[in-house]
Amino acid sequence: MQKLNSSLVNSDFSFLEDLSVQKYPENLPERVIQFGEGNFLRAFADWMIHLLNKQNLFNGRVVVAQPIKEGLADMVNEQDGLYTLLLRGLRDGKPVEEKEVISSISRCINPYTQWDAYLKCAEDPLIEYVISNTTEAGITFDKEDKFENQPPTSYPGKLTSYLYHRFQCFKGDTTKGMVIIPCELIDRNGDNLKKAVLQYIELWNLPQEFAQWVVENNHFLNTLVDRVVTGYPRDEIKEITASLGYQDSLVNTGELFHLWVIEGPKELAERLPFHKVGLNVVWTEDMTPHRTRKVRVLNGAHTASVPAAFLYGLETVGEMMDHEVMGKYVRQIIQDEIVPSIDLDKNMLVDFAHAVVERFQNPYIKHYLLSILLNSSSKFKARVLPSILEYHKLNGRLPQKLVFSLAALIAVYKDGKIDGTGMQAIRDAGEFVMKDDVWALEFFAAAWSNFDGSQQSAKAVAELVLKNTRLWDKDLTETAGFTDCLGEYLYKITTNGMQKTVAELV
């Protein structure tokens, strides 16, 4: 069976009626340098650029820089940058699968072995965009990083070297700045990346004129990205290869839903006209409402529902959504308590909430509840607590199911024993390892240590948790009724069990 590459794509693909294939665009110039060759960007930004190219709306390709020493550069180049993308999910309640060979990547450079080739890209006036996804830890400043390193160890360090080479090559030309679009999952990612670059300029004693050029002639855009990308389908690859009729080492999979919110000048939207091919890309002057919507509705629904579902005995999000009781619980949390707590346009929120439910039901994605439970205490503070407090402020009463969700989370830590950096815990379905900040694990273990099964003891656990300002940045016992309500739910869970308690709640 032939391997996917440019010669295969330029041959006759007519036998694959359900596969969208564009002829390999060898003559398109490189216009984007991308830091990161992983699954997410290939199923997100590179897919979008591919769709623009199909409509002659961008006419440019992506040269990828491998951000760490070990990566996929050789594999990407072996396939001439081509890969098959499978997008799968529910649309209006019906399963949908879209297949396409993506041809927006020209090549992949490994700066650890091809430093000169990497810097050569900075000399190309047509490469005017930077896109990155180097994980949440990628945008960091390392004071031990050195300018003479080839390459610097951090992504901001590599970007600083790139921009300085471009500045020198074009003698500070104000028209040769870059549009820099990070996709890392941190708040204000563009601002943080810009800050790190300026820190390197200072650390490395680079010219002040260069710092001024970076600030005045480069756009560092804040973004919000949203798409579940499940990556290489290891468990299905034999069947997929047989259906494709060729071998592809870079098959990538993801959900149908996508959202890219970019905070930047409106004129850039015309230079990157994603809206003209129907993509869900929003250019805005303030991304805060979009971030609030995603964090509170999508992430908040996950964080609020998963502890109860896990203790109930379920394993995946799909199981949770299909379950008669837990499925109802999740939908009620979103519709009755999260959406009403957010002071944004309700039509926008309801539409997004509908999409979230459909995404949670996606039969092609196996999202394990235990993996979502990772670092739950900090997630709860950012994603769910604001909904509880805002709901209370707006309605003068506590949202019962969201308070119950905190009780369910606290119950996850009950009877757990610290083991290294994790907690050996137990539920009715058996033992499991809970991962969280060690100090948080130690706190919850201590909070449960004197519990004797009584209602008063459950209230004492609730009070200890709510008073912990390290967890919540405030004393939550000051919120009227919170301690009593939380204590009551803890008592019911420990006395009657999760299944009976949730059934009564919904």
Give residue-wise pLDDT tens across range 376-394.
Answer: 999 999 999 999 999 999 9
Angle between helices 455-467 and 400-412 in degrees, nearest 10: 90
**What is the rounded distance in angstroms from the CA atom of residue 486 to the CA atom of residue 405?**
9
For residue 95, the domain's CATH number is 3.40.50.720
Q: Evaluate whether residue 1 is within a structural domain.
A: no
CATH number, domain of 399, equals 1.10.1040.10
One domain for residues 311 and 249: no
DSSP state for residue 414 in the 8-state scheme = T
Residues 274 and 391 both lie in one domain: no
Tell me: the pLDDT tens digits for 112-121?
Answer: 999 999 999 9
Q: Which single residue is written with the structure tokens 């003209």?
A: 276
Residue 461 placed within a domain: yes
At which of 284, 299, 318 does a domain end?
A: 284
| 437 and 486 belong to one structural domain | yes
Domain boundary pick from 237, 268, 284: 284
- Do residues 406 and 300 share a domain? yes
Say whether the peptide bond before residue 289 is cis (omega within 30 degrees of 0): no
Question: Based on the domain organization, do 479 and 370 belong to the same domain?
Answer: yes
Q: Which residues pair with 255 in a beta bridge?
A: 88
pLDDT at residue 393, as a whole number = 96
Distance CA 320, CA 316 (A): 6
Give the model's pLDDT for residue 23: 67
CB distance 28 to 60 below 8 Å: yes
Alpha helices in 21-154 (DSSP H): 39-42, 45-54, 73-78, 115-122
> pLDDT at position 16, please?
59
Exposure of 431 in the CB half-sphere (CA atoms within 13 A): 6
> Does the residue 68 lie in any domain?
yes
299 is a domain residue: yes
Q: What pLDDT shows up at residue 241?
A: 95
Q: How confident is the model at residue 6 (pLDDT cuts 50, 70, 90)?
A: confident
Query: Which residue has 């996709």 as its token pair?
Result: 183
Long-range contacts of 430-435 (CB under 8 A, 24+ apart): 432/370, 434/373, 435/373, 435/374, 435/375
pLDDT of residue 27: 86
Residue range of the domain that includes 417: 288-505
- Determine the average pLDDT of the residues in 456-483: 97
- 165 has pLDDT over 70: yes
> Could you tell me if 278 and 322 lie in one domain?
no
Secondary structure letter of residue 432 according to DSSP? E
Nearest by Cα to 384 from 352, 345, 341, 436: 341
- Does pLDDT of 21 surpass 80? no
Distance CA 36, CA 137 (A): 13
Q: Is the pLDDT of residue 11 over 80?
A: no
User: What letter would DSSP give residue 251?
Assistant: -
In sequence order, the 6+-apart residues with CB closer than 8 A to the CB of 119 are 161, 162, 165
- What's the confidence (pLDDT) of residue 1? 82
Average of per-residue pLDDT values in the chain: 94
Q: How confident is the model at residue 429 (pLDDT cuts 50, 70, 90)?
A: very high
Residue 255 clears pLDDT 90, i.e. is over it: yes
Which pLDDT band, with edges at 50, 70 and 90, does 228 fall under?
A: very high
Residue 111 clears pLDDT 80, i.e. is over it:
yes
Task: Give the pLDDT of residue 24.
Answer: 64
Tell me: do 101 and 250 sit in the same domain.
yes
H or E, element range at 32: strand 30-35
Q: Are residues 262 and 346 in the same domain?
A: no
User: Could you say which of 284, 303, 334 is where a domain stops?
Assistant: 284
Whether 265 is in a domain gets the answer: yes
Prediction pTM value: 0.89
For the residues 295-317, what does the mean pLDDT come to? 96
In this structure, how many other beta carbons lie within 10 angstroms of the beta carbon of residue 74? Answer: 10
299 and 204, same structural domain? no
> What pLDDT is attached to residue 372?
92
Closest to 488 (Cα-Cα) out of 456, 465, 464, 443: 456
> Alpha-carbon distance 284 to 274, whole Å?
14
Shared domain check, 13 and 106? yes
Query: What average pLDDT does the segment 423-440 reach?
Result: 93
CB atoms within 10 A of CB 452: 8
Provide the pLDDT for residue 17. Answer: 58
Q: What is the pLDDT of residue 147?
A: 96
Q: pLDDT value at position 260? A: 97
Beta partners for residue 262, in sequence order: 223, 283
Answer yes or no: do 378 and 318 share one domain.
yes
Given a cut of 60, whether residue 15 has pLDDT beyond it is no
Q: 75: Cβ–Cβ under 8 A, 6 or more apart, which residues?
A: 249, 250
Confidence band, pLDDT 50/70/90 cuts, at residue 34: very high
The reported pLDDT for the residue numbered 51 is: 96
The domain tally of the chain equals 2
Is 84 exposed, middle or buried (CB count within 10 Å of its CB: 0-12, 13-18, 19+)?
buried
How much is the pLDDT for 138? 87
Q: Over 80: is that where the pLDDT of 58 sits? A: yes
What mean pLDDT is predicted for residues 153-164?
Answer: 97
pLDDT of residue 13: 60
What's the rounded mean pLDDT across residues 233-250?
A: 94
Residues 248 and 341 in one domain: no
Mean pLDDT of 215-238: 96
Average pLDDT, integer, range 208-212: 98
